[in-house]
Amino acid sequence: MAKQPRLGPFPEYSSSSGPSWVGRVLLGLAGFVGLGLVLTPLGVVLWTSGTPPLGRPWSWQFYAQVWQGSDWLRAALNSGVVALSVASLQVVTSALAGYGLARYPFRGRRVILALILASLVLPLPLLVIPVFLVLKSGHLLNTYGALILPTAASGFGIVLMRQAFLGIPPSLEEAAQLDGARPWQILVWIVLPLVRPAVVTLALFAILGEWNDLFKPLVFTTRPALQTVSLALVSLQEQFTSNWSLLMAGVVLATAPVIVLFLMGQRYLLQGLGNAGLKQ
């Protein structure tokens, strides 16, 4: 039997051969070093958040103080309402716009897509004056609308959903049309379940962004009843500049929901980002 030639530019390399034991050791050490660099700051925050002065043992007293003294429950509820509302609106608007750009060949579609891509480099603080004037003319300042509507649509979400829809074979939709399904039924019951990773990715990005957002609550609201988690952390920093245990307890309370949410949706997040390559 003739000897099969080796493939690739490096004849001495075999695709079936794995890294040597030295390579495995180095990879393991690099992984441990990376894990330590990531977990060390979290460990310092957790330790500081429950360590009273004078060497007393770790306790939950600072968490209770933050929870009771800064109206933390109201702030968390406000952030949750805003984050879930923005995520829901972004999923709806991005799905509708992305589906139209992916499936309907109308004139000017490429121009609209280019404008949406260009909007990704324009942060909200750059548009603060026109957005403020629009909210003021609509009597939306100091309301939930001022915290939700400015980010109800997302250029990133539209592009992400368009790319996900382009990966779905049009034959599925054509078969549904032959069975008498309407366009909205095709989108809701057939297409969206197939792009669930992209939907979850968009929702996670929206929730994380709104939960950590400080700009909109700081600029568009002045009512204490609309205080969010980010504003609560700022007020803690202003009141207790030298009490690091109290400040770190607030950081842990603000970060814990985000970490739990990320761990719950990380599988879909990786799939959604992996399929987000720009397609024509």
With respect to residue 26, please indicate whether it lies within any of the assigned structural domains.
Answer: no
Q: Using the predicted structure, report yes or no on whether residue 203 has a pLDDT greater than 90.
A: yes
Residue 263 lies in a domain: yes
pLDDT at 168 over 60: yes
Geometric angle at alpha carbon 194, from 188 and 195, rounded to 5°: 90
Q: How many domains does the chain have?
A: 1
Which of 7-16, 74-83, 96-105, 167-176 has the lowest average pLDDT? 7-16
37 part of a folded domain: no
User: What is the pTM (predicted TM-score) of this model?
Assistant: 0.82
Q: Is residue 207 part of a domain?
A: yes
Residue 101 falls within a domain, yes or no? yes
pLDDT digits (tens, 9 = 90+) for 77-126: 999 999 999 999 999 999 999 999 999 888 999 999 999 999 888 888 88
Q: Are 198 and 216 in contact (CB under 8 A)?
A: no
- C-alpha–C-alpha distance, residues 228 and 212, integer Å: 9
User: Would the pLDDT of 14 be above 60?
Assistant: no
| Per-position DSSP letters for 164-192, written without gaps between them | HHHTS-HHHHHHHHHTT--HHHHIIIIIH
Structure confidence at residue 80 (pLDDT): 94
- Written as one string, the DSSP assignment of the chain is -PPPPPPSS-TT--TT----HHHHHHHHHHHHHHHHHHHHHHHHHHHHHT--STTPPP-SHHHHHHHHHTTHHHHHHHHHHHHHHHHHHHHHHHHHHHHHHHH---TTHHHHHHHHHHHTT--GGGGHHHHHHHHHHTT-TTSHHHHHGGGSS-HHHHHHHHHHHHTS-HHHHHHHHHTT--HHHHIIIIIHHHTHHHHHHHHHHHHHHHHT--HHHHHH---GGG--HHHHHHHHHHH-SS-HHHHHHHHHHHHHHHHHHHHHHHHHHHHHHHT-----
Report yes or no on 227 lying in a domain: yes
Assess whether pLDDT exceeds 80 at residue 54: no
pLDDT interval class at 270 (50, 70, 90): low
**DSSP states along 117-165:** HHHTT--GGGGHHHHHHHHHHTT-TTSHHHHHGGGSS-HHHHHHHHHHH
Q: Look at 229 and 7; give whichever has higher pLDDT.
A: 229
pLDDT more than 70, % of the chain: 88
For residue 68, give its domain range: 62-274
Provide the token pair at 192. 């969206």
**What tens digit of pLDDT does each residue of 224-242 get?**
899 999 999 888 888 777 7
The CATH number given to whatever domain includes residue 129 is 1.10.3720.10
Identify whether 20 is part of a domain. no
Q: Is residue 97 part of a domain?
A: yes
Q: Provide the mean pLDDT of the chain.
A: 85
